[in-house]
Structure 1
């Protein structure tokens, strides 16, 4: 737990967005702690039997654990702030690093969704929509933890995807990190027993999403060059391709969420594995 909290504090010290991962990482640490305190005789049993056999009173309390984790995170972040103040002898790094994504002063074109929207925004509404955009990104963390409380790793990966899509200054590095983290959910990419040639039995739109990402990877730099350097295009060229880029990531994100929920449902109801299900 201490290692993960320290790593998250370092990431949040560099940028604000990793702080949104505190709830899913805390849920993951709590799940690992509960597994470590499970008696050996029960840990080897079936998953469904283990849930019934484990005495909930023997498990660590969730609220004290959450308070301890939060205090450790803020203590580590405060230590990093103090160290920066000691080295720089000034607090100027705080507005430079943390107020920049909050206030969005630089509207240089990037693969994100914010820059074009706030270029067209009237100054009177700028503060309101900045708050709305940040609250929108923040609003996913707790619901993911509540719905995917039995799969905290999936909640963390999905929250990484949300941060990647909706952060103010998006970049290709964050997209690559999130796409790489999908390998952690390898159980949702298992082959289909009905159609063994299928890439996945749970993902439905992975091919169109990946094809759109490849399409944008090739055309995005071309449209940016035509607009900025060649002068033969305009902002709509580049912003249109960024919309397609983020739409493809959102399709992959929602498809991954569906795959995780479908895998959880099939684990609880093995008789429905591989069958088409319709919610009524």
Structure 2
């Protein structure tokens, strides 16, 4: 039954993607600023491949921002695959990502249920209000791939054929290798995605925590040092391979430098473009440092200390922060971490902002193209209107992240001390005012 349901999911998801890819809407979707950015646009990839084919350095100018390793792979894809074959590749990659998320959810829910059974021994005898993980395990495991395959953000991301499709596949592979405690595979995958997008460097923290948490104290330090050295070595090796492929270090300015310095201020769903358009030039480096510290450094240590007992939730928090605050975000980044939400279905009853967040995200998703049309085509609006929508979208995501983290703390409190369902002898009710 479950297998038949999975097959039907994949068939329907593939059909939706192929229909949109072969419709007149494909070009419109691929040109949307919410979907394609300077970093993930397939049009830019194609132009970079043609420049390389004709012997021109694609990193001269401000056009191509993929790594030389990515350029080598994309060149091979263009030479060996037809247009139809490329479309199939994007759809298959999405299906593989969903399968990896399904496998990750299955192992993670099993571990959570086992940990909850062990923690029940320390629970007080008070009546508690929480949803046992074992009762929702099957639905959570199925909802994760469904939330990925049928998420409108992910569907549009695949239809536009952005390179975020492959980034999401790498993210899913990292989560799977982390839950399976595959040290070498995890380090290689994190190195690859770090070379491509820089910010996922933070994923090494939950990976290390997950792998060493079951080891003895004497072995933990050795394992941590080993993984840090392995990760650094693999990343350095990939950078050197990129240098050999390109023949120079010019790619650093248009990859890592492009992400850090943010020279391209075309509108997107992020916060950088409007802020730095309005910023006085002599303040630019100060605020670039502030923005980059916010997304890359500020939250790593505090969240690692607080969520060290649940590294998967920690990884989710890092992915959410990256999607919200990175310099060139797209809805494909947002869709990936949203697909992970069913993993914490047992936390939903402790969340308080779900309705507000849902309304905000729906409003922003519908209103952003409308305001864009008024600004660019009708000229009845300006950049302030569009930035207002992207700012509201970012705030909604922040509310979602903080709500689920607070829900985790509330449930932990319920498991340890019990949350009484009665107040002053009467049954408690939660009323939204």
- TM tier, shorter chain? 0.7 to 0.9
Paired with 2:219 and 2:262, the residues of 1 have a C-alpha distance of: 40
Structure 2: which 5+ residue stretches go unaligned? Answer: 1-182, 423-427, 429-433
- 1:60, distance to aligned residue in structure 2 (A): 4.6
Tell me whether 1:223 sits opposite 2:359 in the alignment: no
Return the match for 1:209 from 353, 357, 361: 357
Q: Spell out the pairing of 1:97-112 with structure 2 (5 A cutoff).
A: 97-112=255-270
Q: Which residue of 1 aligns with 2:203?
A: 21
Aligned pair in 2 of structure 1 residues 65, 180: CA closer, same or farther (>3 Å)? same
- 1:62, distance to aligned residue in structure 2 (A): 3.2
Return the match for 2:341 from 177, 182, 187: 182
- 1:215, distance to aligned residue in structure 2 (A): 0.9
Tell me whether 1:81 sits opposite 2:239 in the alignment: yes
> Do 1:24 and 1:141's aligned partners in 2 also have CA atoms closer than 8 Å?
no
1:155-176 Cα deviation digits (max 9, x unpaired): 1111111111111111111110
> Do 1:204 and 1:255's aligned partners in 2 also have CA atoms closer than 8 Å?
yes
Q: Which residue of 2 aligns with 1:117?
A: 275
How does the TM-score come out when normalised to structure 1? 0.81
1:42-94 Cα deviation digits (max 9, x unpaired): xxxxxxxxxxxxxxxx4454333222111111111112112212222121111
Paired with 1:263 and 1:273, the residues of 2 have a C-alpha distance of: 13
Paired with 1:28 and 1:230, the residues of 2 have a C-alpha distance of: 52
1:190-239 Cα deviation digits (max 9, x unpaired): xxxxxxxxxxx211111110121011111111111221233221001100
Q: Which residue of 2 aligns with 1:55?
A: none
- 1:274, distance to aligned residue in structure 2 (A): 5.7
Tell me whether 1:66 sits opposite 2:224 in the alignment: yes
Q: Which residue of 1 aligns with 2:419?
A: 272
Q: Which residue of 2 aligns with 1:246?
A: 394
Paired with 2:201 and 2:290, the residues of 1 have a C-alpha distance of: 18
1:119-164 Cα deviation digits (max 9, x unpaired): 1111111111111111122210111110111111111111111111
TM-align CA RMSD = 1.7
> Do 1:21 and 1:141's aligned partners in 2 also have CA atoms closer than 8 Å?
no
- 1:98, distance to aligned residue in structure 2 (A): 0.4
Tell me whether 1:11 sits opposite 2:197 in the alignment: no
Return the match for 1:95 from 253, 272, 283: 253
Paired with 1:215 and 1:273, the residues of 2 have a C-alpha distance of: 37
Q: Which secondary structure does the structure 2 equivalent of 1:111 belong to? A: coil
Paired with 2:415 and 2:218, the residues of 1 have a C-alpha distance of: 26
Q: Which secondary structure does the structure 1 equivalent of 2:350 belong to? A: coil
Aligned pair in 2 of structure 1 residues 88, 62: CA closer, same or farther (>3 Å)? same
Paired with 1:79 and 1:185, the residues of 2 have a C-alpha distance of: 37
Q: Which secondary structure does the structure 1 equivalent of 2:308 belong to? A: coil
Tell me whether 1:234 sits opposite 2:382 in the alignment: yes
Q: Which residue of 2 aligns with 1:152?
A: 311
Paired with 1:227 and 1:94, the residues of 2 have a C-alpha distance of: 35
Determine which structure has greater relative contact order: mean sequence separation of CA pairs < 8 Å that are 6+ residues apart, divided by chain length: 2
Q: Which secondary structure does the structure 2 equivalent of 1:239 belong to? A: helix
Paired with 1:66 and 1:267, the residues of 2 have a C-alpha distance of: 30
Paired with 1:228 and 1:273, the residues of 2 have a C-alpha distance of: 55
Tell me whether 1:127 sits opposite 2:309 in the alignment: no
Structure 1: which 5+ residue stretches go unaligned? Answer: 38-57, 190-200
How does the TM-score come out when normalised to structure 2? 0.53
